[in-house]
Structure 1
Amino acid sequence: MKMFSKLWWIFSIIGTGAALLNPYIGGFGITNIGELFFMSILFMYVNGLFKIIKSNKYNEKKIIKRVIKVNGILTYVIPSIFFLIKLFVGATVFVVAYADNIVMAPYEIWSNPQKMSIICLIVEMIFNVALLISFIGKGKIIRKTVNEYE
């Protein structure tokens, strides 16, 4: 699980690429970029707090540990919310656009958008599930690491 949680960048890049290349979802792939932005900021913040705990310069270890535990819980909640948003938006837009043959992307690079949209949607959903699992694993690792400092 530890190795799987380190691969979250790869899952997010491939999932975002598949969402943006899908002709029927297209611009709505920005939700993947939003998730990547929020989670990278959260992980940088948690890493900074771990460095403060390791340096032993401050006496507020209990407060910092609680903040890290809350952020560990956020690594479960935020990806779950984004997963549901991506699932709902992707499925809804895909069903509406696919039925009416409306290309939602500002570009049209595929010669056969019908087939490529289904392939891109399947790839995106597989990597969204893998991304959700890796974020949950990352949250478990954060919570275990905080417990080691007690």
Structure 2
Amino acid sequence: MAKKKSKDKAGSNTIAMNKQARHEYFIDDEIEAGIELQGWEVKSLRSGKVNIAESYVYVRDGEIFISGMTITPLQAASTHVVANPTRIRKLLMSRKEIDNLIGRVNREGMTLVATTMYWVRSWAKIKVGVAKGKKLHDKRTDSKEKDWNRDKARIMKSSLR
């Protein structure tokens, strides 16, 4: 009989998260996209040297790009390649998904935000969120709600003792 492969993995598949995006935007929808990478970038991703907090996604000539994402090169990476840590990278999606995003950005005034970067088998993927910016009072309301939920959980925990 053939051996069954174990699906339990030791580590998480998440490479990087953009926690600030949830604070700054109302995320309406998330779409998975592949990313075009060079060899040294994949090695750096495997060691977790990536930052997507300052990145933004935009549409140019019917294609989707991500800019501002920093992938720090490894010291032991190839020496004959000049590494540009903040280069513009192309996101890979189907034409139907790209057209849908372009329509939502143009018509509804939405923006595109990178929320999470993770591994799917051996491919690096990015979740692109279709988002609308929050106003200052929305951020305050969210903060108050989060504080109240934390206090409520603390009160419930102490009352159960």
How does the TM-score come out when normalised to structure 2?
Answer: 0.26
Higher relative contact order (CA 8 A, sep 6+): 1
The structure with more radius of gyration: 2
More strand by share: 2
More helix by share: 1
